[in-house]
Amino acid sequence: MVELHRADLKALQASGTTHTNLCAPDDARWAGIQALAPLDTLEVPAGARHDFYVLHGGVQERGQTRAAGTFFSRNQALTLRADTGGALLLWYRDTVARSSGHETWAPDEQQWWAGSVQGMQVAPLSKHYHRVSLVQWQAGTRAAPHTHPHGEEIFVLWGELQDERGAYPAGSWMRFHPGSGHAPYAEQETLILLRNGHLST
């Protein structure tokens, strides 16, 4: 089983303070996109693991700026305040595995490694229960057909990912349930946020 949702990132960026669900709103492992108008705040409750990736703009967290391209993972209540230009956040909330390594990775701190496929580079962001990575695909990169015994989630940050089911531009979210698979490839340079190993427990 594969879930798919496509979000219009430009429209969300201009929408003021609002959010969109990428899966069912009551999902124990929920994913969504939160838009914040300039200087608006987001109250994040305790009782879950919360992962954020800043898609646009920036947010303040306890006096620290989290700029576009930053990933951070928390497992306690927090308040985020958008910068003067507003913010757009990819937000993942897990109430099953609440633990977090309390990671923060700004763009200039991410370390890139050669991927398992020629033309692919990977920057690990979290290995604490969830394996979260940025994966960059050069144009023409292809992965062999494979399955995901423990599930996988993909969010296309820019470019376009493709597989045998279709094409997925920026703003596309996919959840591959345990046992499902694909043969992804990219005809243009593409960056995705990848989460795996977390759906079978």
CA distance 61 to 30: 22
Burial class from Cβ neighbours inside 10 Å (0-12, 13-18, 19+) for residue 24 reads exposed
Residue ranges of domains in the chain, CATH in brackets: 9-104 (2.60.120.10), 111-196 (2.60.120.10)
Tokens 């937000």 correspond to what residue? 91
What does each of the 201 residues of the chain score in pLDDT, given as a tens digit?
888 899 999 999 888 889 999 999 999 999 999 999 999 999 999 999 999 999 999 999 989 999 999 999 999 999 999 999 999 999 999 998 777 778 899 999 999 999 889 999 999 999 887 789 999 999 999 988 878 788 889 999 999 999 988 999 999 999 988 888 888 999 999 999 999 877 665
Strand ranges (DSSP E) for 113-171?
A: 113-114, 120-126, 131-137, 141-142, 146-147, 152-158, 160-163, 166-169
Pairing of strands 113-114, 120-126: antiparallel
Is residue 190 within 8 A of residue 160, CB to CB? The reply is yes
Structure tokens at 111: 């370390």
What are the φ and ψ backbone dihedral angles of 12, each rounded to 5 degrees?
-65, -40
Is residue 72 within 8 A of residue 104, CB to CB? The reply is yes
